Amino acid sequence: MKAMILAAGKGTRVRPITQTIPKPMIPILQKPVMEFLLELLRQHSFTQVMVNVSHLAHEIENYFRDGQRFGVEIGYSFEGKITAEGELQGQALGSAGGMKRIQDFKPFFDDTFVVLCGDALIDLDLTEAVRWHKEKGSIATIIMKTVPIEEVPSYGVVVTEDDGRIKTFQEKPAIDQALSTTINTGIYIFEPEIFDYIPSGQEFDIGSDLFPKLVEMDAPFYGLAMDFQWVDIGRVPDYWRAVRSVLRGDVKNVSIPGKEVAPGIYTGINVDVNWDKVDITGPVYIGAMTRIEDGAKIIGPSMIGPNCCICGNSTVDNSVIFEYSRLGRGVRLVDKLVFGRYCVDSKGNAIDVQAAALDWLITDARQDPPTRVPAEHQAIAELLGGDGNSLVGD
């Protein structure tokens, strides 16, 4: 069977992470989200997968290649061009436009097929969903979930008849205009006839263009609500929740990598830590080749990536730290995500620590550590709850 993963978007709501990593490559404890999706597809006998790419396309293509090591065959459809200056320039066609481009190149989707957005962890029974779709004689089926009313503006809202036929579709309505709290999860089942509704060579979106058109034309368009786990990472706060959920063991079929060295504490290989001189409360994951210096305190749920350094007397509390990060001495990191030169809070607000001259707090572990910290910076550290006198070692 055939499937498609939508992977061409810029992921603007997950910046700054997506400035250097495309959304499908965002890691959940060192494993890209798209890899989980490929595993799910393979489990349900989807072995030929098309992936549309644009933003940072090479990151996806270089990791997954032709799919052999993941047990599937993968083809890529690049949306963009190479400029006269030789620059690779992405130009996404929208989710439906990306599907149409593949079909116009050569009809690939010749039977019922599944389309997944590349930014969610799911454990859906795809086999049962496809069976229901065919039984209804549907040309397009949306897999649906119910969410709290405050989350509705982030999604497409679906209203169905008693038999599941969709009578209204709203793309990301305001809370006071939403007709229900049942939303589109970005999981679709289509028949090849769907391409009759999608124009060629132009930007066309599944949610905002295709689905309203299907409703308007009274096409056999259905929504199916199923009981399954759906962990969306469409925004920074979503990613934050996803990592914490995995660390707590709340996400099925996603295990914590590494070795459990103490209850709730997992590490990769060759981690440098004197367990008698640190205070670590799980759930915590520490990546390979990371050093935790004496006096450090780590409170879970927290993830520290590989090749990091958590300097002495610093604190990591309910935080996510990506690879090659150094947290300065005496610094307290609470409810934060550290990604390269950026420190992001749980609401998605980011600070560029270099631009703000705060790179004595967080630096690249591959750089030499600071040898002196100005007095005003020590005062800032103390205001943040850290020990300003211990920012730099003796």
What would the pLDDT profile of 299-319 be if each residue is shown by its tens digit? Answer: 989 999 999 999 999 999 999
Hey, do 2-235 and 256-390 end up sharing a CATH topology, with the first three levels equal? no
- How do 325-327 and 259-262 pair as beta strands? unpaired
The model's confidence at residue 206, banded by pLDDT at 50, 70 and 90, is: very high
Percent of the chain with pLDDT over 70: 90
Closest CA to 19 of 342, 360, 319: 342
- What is the per-residue pLDDT for 391? 39
Give the least confident one: 50-64, 167-181, 352-366: 352-366
- What is the per-residue pLDDT for 126? 95
The model's confidence at residue 387, banded by pLDDT at 50, 70 and 90, is: very low
* Residue 389 clears pLDDT 50, i.e. is over it: no
* Residue 253 clears pLDDT 80, i.e. is over it: no
User: Which of the 8 DSSP states describes residue 263?
Assistant: T
User: What CATH number belongs to 256-390?
Assistant: 2.160.10
3-class DSSP state of 243: helix
User: What CATH number belongs to 2-235?
Assistant: 3.90.550.10
- What is the per-residue pLDDT for 297? 96
The rounded mean pLDDT for the chain is 87
* Bridge partners for 77 per DSSP: 52
- What is the per-residue pLDDT for 388? 44
Q: How far apart are CA 78 and CA 70, in angstroms?
A: 21
Give the least confident one: 270-274, 361-365, 384-388: 384-388
Domain spans of the chain, in order of start: 2-235, 256-390
* Residue 188 clears pLDDT 70, i.e. is over it: yes
The model's confidence at residue 65, banded by pLDDT at 50, 70 and 90, is: very high
The model's confidence at residue 269, banded by pLDDT at 50, 70 and 90, is: very high
- How do 362-364 and 325-327 pair as beta strands? antiparallel
For residue range 104-159, list pLDDT tens digits in order: 999 999 999 999 999 888 889 999 999 999 999 999 999 999 888 988 888 888 88
- Residue 232, H or E segment: strand 230-232
Closest CA to 385 of 326, 321, 316, 324: 316
Give the least confident one: 55-64, 308-317, 351-360: 351-360
373 or 12: which carries more pLDDT confidence? 12
| Tokens found for residue 156 | 């497409």
Closest CA to 337 of 15, 11, 62, 96: 15
R_g of the chain computed on alpha carbons? 23
The model's confidence at residue 57, banded by pLDDT at 50, 70 and 90, is: confident
- What is the per-residue pLDDT for 296? 96
3-class DSSP state of 366: coil
The model's confidence at residue 294, banded by pLDDT at 50, 70 and 90, is: very high
- What is the per-residue pLDDT for 380? 52
The model's confidence at residue 375, banded by pLDDT at 50, 70 and 90, is: low
